[in-house]
Amino acid sequence: MHQKVMAAGARIQENSLLARIARWVLKSPNVAMVIGKTIHLSGVSKEDFLKDRYWVEHELCHIQQYKDNGLFRFLGKYLIESCRNGYYNNKFEAEARRVGREQAGLAPESKTTRS
C-alpha cells in the first residue's frame, strides 16, 4: 500500500496534533485525517495504518477530493456538508467509504450489515 500512497503524491504524518484533536472530537481511539496531500495519524502507527487496505483507500479518496476541489474549496464544502448532514452522512465521507470498499475488494456497505 505504501507504493500507492507515494504514487498519489501523499505523505504520512504520525502522532499528528490535528489528528489528536479530531480523535478527541470524534471520541475515536484512532484517527486518520487528510489535509491536502498529508495523511495525519493519531493513535495508529504508519505501519499499522498501511496494513489496513480499506483505510488507506478511504484516505486516498479524500486526497483525490482535495485534488478535484482545491484545498480551501474542499475544506469549505466539507465543513458545510458536515454541518448539514453530520460526519457520517457527509457526501465526501459516503464517497470515500464507497470507493474505499471498492478498491479494497470489499462488498458494498448496505450488504455487509446483514451478514
Binding residues vs Zn ion (CB under 5 A): 93, 96
**Nearest distance from C-beta of residue 79 to Zn ion, angstroms:** 14
Do residues 52 and 2 make contact, with C-beta atoms less than 8 angstroms apart? no
Pick 88 or 114: Cβ nearer Zn ion: 88
Pick 109 or 114: Cβ nearer Zn ion: 109
Using only C-alpha atoms, the chain has a radius of gyration, in whole angstroms, of 14
Amino acid symbol at 40 = H
**Nearest distance from C-beta of residue 59 to Zn ion, angstroms:** 7
Measured between alpha carbons, how far is 38 from 42 in angstroms, rounded to an integer? 13
- DSSP class of residue 106 equals P
**Nearest distance from C-beta of residue 58 to Zn ion, angstroms:** 5
